[in-house]
Amino acid sequence: MLIASVSFSQHSIFTVFTDGGEEFTLYVDGKKINETPKSRIADVKYSNEMANLKLEFADGKIPRLTKNLALKDVDNNYQKFTLIVKPNKKGVYKLRVNSFEAYTPTE
C-alpha cells in the first residue's frame, strides 16, 4: 500500500509599504530582505512566532523605524499582515499594522 503525504510549511506573510512613496530597506531579525531600497515590499514569508522589523530609509532624512511583530494570533494561527509607514499628526514617521487576517499557507 502506498500512502501519499503532503506537508505545508507554516508561516505568516506580510507586506510593508510607505504612504508617500519613500524608499527603504527592510530587515527582519537582522536579515536584509531587499537589496535595493523600495517603497513597497510584498509577501515576505516568515515562520517564527515573532519578528523584529527594521526599516532604513534611502534618503537618510527619516529616522530608522523598528517594530516587534507577533506573527500568530491568540489561537496560535499564523496571520497575513499589511504594515504602513506614514507620519503622524506631529510629522513623526511611524510603522503601523494597517490590516491583518488569518492566513493558511497553501504551499
How far is C-alpha 38 from the geometric centre of its chain's CA atoms?
14
What was the pLDDT predicted at 48? 83
pLDDT tens across 7-65, in order? 455 778 889 999 999 999 999 999 999 999 999 999 988 888 889 999 999 998 899 99
Residue-wise pLDDT for 64-101, tens only, equals 999 998 887 888 888 888 999 999 999 999 999 998 88
pLDDT of residue 76: 82
Q: With 70 as the cut, is the pLDDT of residue 3 above it?
A: no
pLDDT at 107 over 60: no
